[in-house]
Structures are given as structure tokens and as C-alpha cells.
Amino acid sequence: MSPGRRNGYLPDYVRRMHLDDIDRVLEIDREAFPTEWPPPNLKHELDNQMAYYIVACRSSERIEEIVKQEGPPDNGFTGLLSRLRMLFGGNKPAAPTEPAVQSDEVITGFAGFWIMVDEAHITSIASRGIYRGQGIGELLLQTVIDMAAERKVRIVTLEVRVSNSVAQNLYTKYGFNKVGMRRGYYTDNREDALIMSTDRINSAEFQKNFTELRQNYRIKWGADRYQLVR
């Protein structure tokens, strides 16, 4: 796959979550965590001064360009088109003359974290299924670390399923270490959770490694996309 096609679904920007985003974010949450119940009360979270939620967004015009470039029907064009319409709230099949999408942007992923004293605790990071493997989770993690550092947070922590080796590898790459275990933490199957934590994120050593990782990210995906839209 060429670099241009590989980074086609990357977000155009990351911004703070708004009330109007809740339904779309809950769709991503249900898709990413189908067995975890109940879903987060995002309205309450947005009112919580300790909580921060961000979303990765893609311009609908850019999505339409990608759809047109996906190739002939035997490459899945029709199915992709239908899925993209669903992401933007379309419930009926597209007529031949209708546009593929009908909104200004699509939310491709989200992340949430709490800041308590000098610790940022990540509560969730997720992306839509059709966008996974496109660097969105890594982009959101970078943005969380940036926001935490700006707020003079000392460390970033999280829990992750013991079976989720993909996520653990990403967190380890960004300086998280395994520091403990929560037995039977997940309510769906009583799976254990690993507790992972960074060292001091404002230390020279951490920031040097973080800068190198961001540079490598730009090289891999072809753009500097971790900036947060205020």
C-alpha cells in the first residue's frame, strides 16, 4: 500500500469533545467495548472539571475523496460507502445522485482522562473499527500526554486488559511501565487489568523520547497531526 493510501483515514485534527458529539462517541465506545457495561455517562463527564475528553476528526470532504479512490465495486466500494453514510447518521441507502456523507466531519476516535492532583489517569482510548490500524490511537495518546504535560502533571496512568497485548505494546513504546495488577477488574469476564504508569512526563529523558516518537509518527503517516484544536 502506498503512503498516500496508507494515511488516507488519518484525522485532520484533534479537538475537545462537545455535547453534540456524545451520540457518535457512544457508538465508538459500544463498538470498541461491546461487553463492558454500563457505557460512560459522557454528559456527566463533560461537566466534570477533573475530566478531559478529546475526539479525532476527519473532514467529510476528505472522506468523500477517499471513497471515490477506493476502486471498483469488487474492491468493496459499495460496502464502504454504506458504512460511511452510517457514520454520518444516514439511515437510508444512498441514491445514485446523493453525496456519500452529509456532515462536516466524522469522528474517528476518542480518548478520555482525569487529572487528580499531579496524576492523569486515562479512562478510555478507542477508534472506529474501519479506521483501526491507521495510527489514531497513537495520535490520541500523544495528545493526552501533551495536554497532561501542559497542566504540569507528573505521571500518566491507565489500566489495560492482560490479554490486550497490542495496547500494552503501544503504551510500553510511550514509556508506560507495568506497576501493578487489578484482579477481576473487568465486569464482563472478570479479566485482570494491568496497571501501567509513566515516569515523570516533564523530565528531560521522557520528553526526549516523546519528541523522537512524534517525529517517527510524522515520518510514518506523512504529516504532523497531533496538534490540538482549541
pLDDT digits (tens, 9 = 90+) for 104-120: 789 999 999 999 999 99
CATH of the domain at 153: 3.40.630.30
The whole domain housing 31 covers 3-222
Residue 112 lies in a domain: yes
User: What predicted TM-score, i.e. pTM, was given to this entire model?
Assistant: 0.78
Active-site residue identified among 9, 171, 174, 217: 171
- Residues 126 and 88: beta-carbon distance below 8 Å: no
Active-site residue identified among 64, 70, 159, 191: 159
171 counts as catalytic:
yes
Model confidence at 230: pLDDT above 70:
no
Model confidence at 82: pLDDT above 50:
no
Residue 110 lies in a domain: yes
Model confidence at 103: pLDDT above 60:
no
Q: What is the pLDDT of residue 43?
A: 94
Residue 230 lies in a domain: no
Residues 6+ apart with CB under 8 A from 36: 186, 187, 188
Cis bond upstream, residue 39 (ω within 30): no
pLDDT digits (tens, 9 = 90+) for 201-221: 999 999 999 999 999 998 888
Residue 229 lies in a domain: no
- Over the Cα atoms of the chain, what is R_g? 18
More confident residue, 208 or 67: 208
Percent of the chain predicted with pLDDT > 90: 60
More confident residue, 165 or 91: 165
217 counts as catalytic:
no
Residue 71 lies in a domain: yes
Q: What is the mean pLDDT of residues 169-195?
A: 95
Q: What is the pLDDT of residue 148?
A: 97
The DSSP secondary structure of the chain, one letter per residue, reads --HHHHTTT--SEEEE--GGGHHHHHHHHHHHSTT--SPP-HHHHHH-TTEEEEEEEEEHHHHHHHHHHS-SGGGTHHHHHHHHHHHTT--SPPPTTS-S--SSEEEEEEEEEEEETTEEEEEEEEE-GGGTTSSHHHHHHHHHHHHHHHTT--EEEEEEETT-HHHHHHHHHTT-EEEEEETT--TTT---EEEEE-S-TTSHHHHHHHHHHHHHHHHHHSS---PEE-
Residue 92 lies in a domain: yes
Q: What is the mean pLDDT of residues 143-170?
A: 96
More confident residue, 54 or 40: 54
Residue 207 lies in a domain: yes
How many distinct structural domains can be found in the chain? 1
